Structure 1
């Protein structure tokens, strides 16, 4: 993870943190997709690292709905059917509850593509976790995609997933960053402001990367994004 995560995260919608937070664990070492390249409904995306040509990907999208899961899946499949061959693969249980798995075959400039999508409706919102790869490569990623699907859940508070030791360490580090930010809003010259903030931010980012890697890059990014929200309120 690099400092660019912080600035890219500024582009993520603040609404992510106004309610329970959707969370999944992407494959290790996958890169975060630039939020500017994602559609408005997509909250976050990840790509395979260092791949040339078409990169296998995972992205999480959501939208408010007043529909049952069956009704929503029927609408989605009807839309997908206009783009290619669509199949309902049946129910799937993930960490946060039940949903449905569908598969779409379509074409692109890179050749035939296969998309697999876990869809669920929780608390008045439809969530879709979508995996995509070239059809010829999809089989080698099936287990990877399924593991990511099964990790999807809604959390009330990200820090609830931490043990007391790590939670206290995080809180202490965040206090330092917030204090540095508050100093930056004083009448100090701009270069000094940046140095003061970076002196607190970089160790915090390093701590999030090293101490919370077991919870995945999505969790790490959301932690950084929540801190950004705190210091800019």
Structure 2
């Protein structure tokens, strides 16, 4: 597939498995938006990865190309399971079986294409654990959506308005502050969201902080 790095305008949002943790963004490639992992000490713990790519292919063609690329490796089989209806349209669900260092893995992969962007949500676990994780993975996939207003995920109006006002204040004050002070304010803002918006989850916090950081950087250009 011919691809290039692309930052989408819409926000890709989903509800990850309960109590899973976000892995350090420093390990991400340019295509990866977030990686979640089960909060346990096992070496081969289950993971869920969201990545995006710009593409001119249709959903069917993109999935076919993904299958073809995966199966270059003789230790990988890629089975297209069929469509899954999401809020933003039809996605395709596939199952990947692979062996790495004598360990067998089962992977579920969801692909949605919208406005020439492929959104790929990949959930992996050891084959022996797939029965325990299959429903967890598919339930997460069904929550996937593309949203224009990130703050719309806060369903209590008063809490939403409070967060929006704090966000706007953070951005406005950033214009006259140096990088060190802005970083300090972002950390404080992140802690505030973590404490007061726990129902929205860690991923929501991460997305709001990323949005703020991008806006602050754009103002400094």
TM-score w.r.t. the length of structure 1 is 0.80
Counterpart of 1:4 in structure 2 is: none
Aligned residues: 211
Would the alpha carbon gap of residues 54 and 110 (structure 1) be closer, same or farther in structure 2, given more than 3 Å must change? farther
In the alignment, is residue 207 of structure 1 matched against residue 200 of structure 2? no
Aligned ranges 1:1-233 → 2 under 5 Å: 15-16=7-8, 19-83=9-73, 84-109=76-101, 111-163=103-155, 164-178=157-171, 181-182=174-175, 184-185=177-178, 194=181, 198=184, 200-201=185-186, 203-232=188-217, 233=219
CA distance in 2, matches of 1:28, 1:148: 10
Q: CA shift at 1:115, angstroms? A: 0.9
Deviations 1:178-232 (A, max 9, x none): 46545543xxxx9xx65x964x545532331233333332222101111112333
Deviations 1:80-114 (A, max 9, x none): 22231121111112233211111111111261111
Which 10-residue stretch deviates more, 222-231 or 149-158?
222-231
Deviations 1:104-163 (A, max 9, x none): 111112611111101121111111100011111121111111111111111112013334
Would the alpha carbon gap of residues 32 and 197 (structure 1) be closer, same or farther in structure 2, given more than 3 Å must change? closer
Deviations 1:29-60 (A, max 9, x none): 21112223233222111111132211210011
CA distance in 1, matches of 2:48, 2:10: 21
Question: What secondary structure does 2:7 align onto?
Answer: helix
Would the alpha carbon gap of residues 70 and 216 (structure 1) be closer, same or farther in structure 2, given more than 3 Å must change? same
Give me the CA root mean square deviation. 2.4
Question: What secondary structure does 1:52 align onto?
Answer: coil
TM-score w.r.t. the length of structure 2 is 0.84
Q: Which runs of 5+ in 1 are unaligned?
A: 1-12
- By relative contact order (CA 8 Å, sep 6+), the higher-ranking structure is 1
